[in-house]
């Protein structure tokens, strides 16, 4: 890979490689953009097949974080880190502490959090070496599990999109398919059941399915049935790239709104959905609740403030869908444009020597906030 060419093409500011021989640490931190503030993004630990694969992943993920933070109205930039290794085998206290010292050298330009392969106990270890870490345990001023907030944000966004697609934000009676009943999917089922939605669920883990079926009277279907079913709303809450060449023409839902990251295998799949009249709510707009939650740790964590900010996902989704409709473009393009403009404006302010600031997007409508957790 021609790294500088890639960085220039996609606007990355900085990529840092770290190694620690004693602990076996091999980490890459990518800072995509800091116009709006320090780059916050999780640390993914994964047994990448090659260094190039790890590099591509961290570059792609860090850029996504810039857009996510910008759309969420946060005073944060986008960054991400990867550690090459198998968590169960390679993740030791020595490795995490060495990694914490690496983060410290960036002096706050990058702030980490948990991601695939890392969790709250790991963040607590990293905290021993640096303050530039979120997602630590509540006893250490942390915010705990972000999943209920991610699920709540998805619910707010789903309501906003339902208003546009169905002419009513009411979810009672809507047939919703939840794919993936892990941390977020489970909470989303609870919230949707509370709204009176008619739930169909699927997961590759039968125990997760049984629990949700029992608790929320949901109907279970096999994982491969998702693309054969017909319904109102499809909520992908498992893996990414579920809208791809094999599925995009088969989907028979009017709205796609879920927590999964990178739902579209490629941008062109978003164009096809648009042509087919299926509304896709861009992942990073609707699934920002978890980021909003950890970001609050930097302000002195208060759950009520998190709930209010997560409720604004409703407005962010409305704004994206408004622009998409007005300009007859797919929502993913509208979101990229809105987020890109905000980052660009902040960059222009900085160049003129003015604070970039991070005004919250106008949150006129804050829907009723329900209990989470
Ligand atoms: P998780 O690992 O807890 O849950 C994922 C679930 O999907 C698991 O139960 C797994 O068995 C199931 N699954 C995997 N493959 C499947 C398949 N083919 N069909 C059906 N089910 C399948 O993850 P999570 O934390 O709930 O996150 C879910 C998604 O939301 C991920 O894409 C994640 O990146 C994204 N996300 C999560 C958060 C958060 O706060 N946890 C925030 C933003 C985005």
Hunting for tokens 């608790």 — which residue is that? Answer: 215
Who's near 29: CB < 8 A, 6+ residues apart?
Answer: 15, 16, 18, 58, 79, 80, 81, 102, 103, 106, 110
For 245, the token pair is 């060449």
Exactly one of 21, 26, 68, 80 is catalytic; name it.
80
C-beta neighbour count of 14 within 10 angstroms: 17
Give residue 260 CA to ligand 1 midpoint distance, Å.
6
Q: Give Cα separations from 286 to 30, 90, 156, 256, 320 (angstroms).
A: 24, 33, 8, 11, 11
pLDDT attached to residue 135: 93
Asked if residue 259 has its Cβ within 6 Å of ligand 1, the reply is: yes
pTM of the full structure: 0.91
Q: What does the block give as tokens for 336?
A: 């990229």
What's residue 365's pLDDT?
36
Tokens of 358: 């991070």
The answer to whether the annotation marks 181 as part of a ligand binding site is yes
Residue in 340, 345, 372 with CA at minimum distance from that of residue 358: 345
* The pLDDT of residue 360 is above 50: no
Q: Whose CA is nearest to atom 1 of ligand 1?
A: 182
In what side-by-side order are the strands of the sheet with 175-179? 219-220, 198-202, 175-179, 233-236, 255-256, 279-280
Taking the centre of ligand 1 as the mean of its atom positions, its distance from the CA of residue 222, in whole angstroms, is 16
Task: Report pLDDT for 373.
Answer: 29
Q: Which of 18-32, 132-146, 173-187, 316-330 has the lowest mean pLDDT?
A: 132-146
Q: Read off the DSSP letter of residue 130.
A: -
Please report, rounded to a whole number, the percentage of residues in the chain having pLDDT higher than 70: 95
Handedness of CA 348, 353, 357, 362 (dihedral sign): negative
pLDDT per residue over 32-84, tens digit each? 999 999 999 999 999 999 999 999 999 999 999 999 999 999 999 999 999 99
Which distant-in-sequence residues (6+ apart) come within 8 Å of 89 by Cβ? none
Q: Domains in the chain and their CATH numbers?
A: 3-63+77-139 (3.40.50.10860), 147-286 (3.40.50.720)
pLDDT in tens, 156-193: 999 999 999 999 999 999 999 999 999 999 999 999 99
Q: Are 281 and 141 in contact (CB under 8 A)?
A: no
Tell me: the pLDDT tens digits for 76-93? 999 999 999 999 999 999
Would the annotation count 211 as a binding residue?
no
Alpha helices in the chain, H assignment, sequence order: 3-10, 51-71, 87-90, 93-105, 120-127, 147-166, 183-195, 206-216, 267-275, 283-286, 289-295, 303-311, 313-327, 331-351
Q: Is 118 in the pocket of ligand 1 (CB under 6 A)?
A: no
261 lines ligand 1 (CB under 6 A): yes
Q: Is 163 exposed, middle or buried (0-12, 13-18, 19+ CB in 10 A)?
A: middle
The reply to whether ligand 1 has any atom less than 6 angstroms from the CB of 185 is yes
Annotated active-site residue 26? The verdict is no
Query: Does residue 318 have a pLDDT over 50?
Result: yes
């Amino acid at each position: 890979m021609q790294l500088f060419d890639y960085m220039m093409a996609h606007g990355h500011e900085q990529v840092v490689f770290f190694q620690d021989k004693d602990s076996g640490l091999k980490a890459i931190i990518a800072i995509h953009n800091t116009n709006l503030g320090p780059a916050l993004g999780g640390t993914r630990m994964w047994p990448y097949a090659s260094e190039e694969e790890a590099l591509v992943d961290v570059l792609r993920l860090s850029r996504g974080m810039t857009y996510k933070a910008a759309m969420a109205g946060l005073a944060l930039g986008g960054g991400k880190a990867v550690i090459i290794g198998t968590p169960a085998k390679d993740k030791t206290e020595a490795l995490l502490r060495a990694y914490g010292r690496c983060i410290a050298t960036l002096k706050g330009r990058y702030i980490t959090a948990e991601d695939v392969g890392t969790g709250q106990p790991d963040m607590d270890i990293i905290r021993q070496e640096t303050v530039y870490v979120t997602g630590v345990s509540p006893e250490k001023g942390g915010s705990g599990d972000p999943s209920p907030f991610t699920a709540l944000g998805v619910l707010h966004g789903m309501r906003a999109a339902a208003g546009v697609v169905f002419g009513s934000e009411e979810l009672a009676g809507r047939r919703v398919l939840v794919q993936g009943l892990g941390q977020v999917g489970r909470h989303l089922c609870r919230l949707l059941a509370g709204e009176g939605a008619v739930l169909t669920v699927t997961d590759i883990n039968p125990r997760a399915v049984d629990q949700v079926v029992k608790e929320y009277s949901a109907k279970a279907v096999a994982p491969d049935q998702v693309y054969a079913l017909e319904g109102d709303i499809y909520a992908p809450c498992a893996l990414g790239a579920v809208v791809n060449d094999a599925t995009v023409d088969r989907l028979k839902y009017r709205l796609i709104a879920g927590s999964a990251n990178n739902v579209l295998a490629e941008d062109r799949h978003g164009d096809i959905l648009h042509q087919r009249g299926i509304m896709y709510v861009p992942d990073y707009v609707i699934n920002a609740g978890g980021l909003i939650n950890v970001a609050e740790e930097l302000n002195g964590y208060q759950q009520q403030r998190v709930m209010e900010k997560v409720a604004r996902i409703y407005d962010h989704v409305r704004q994206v869908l408004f622009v998409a409709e007005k300009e007859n473009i797919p929502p993913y393009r509208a979101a990229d444009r809105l987020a890109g403009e905000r980052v660009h404006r902040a960059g222009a302010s900085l160049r003129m020597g003015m604070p970039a600031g991070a005004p919250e997007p106008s949150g006129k409508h804050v829907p009723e906030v329900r209990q989470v957790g």
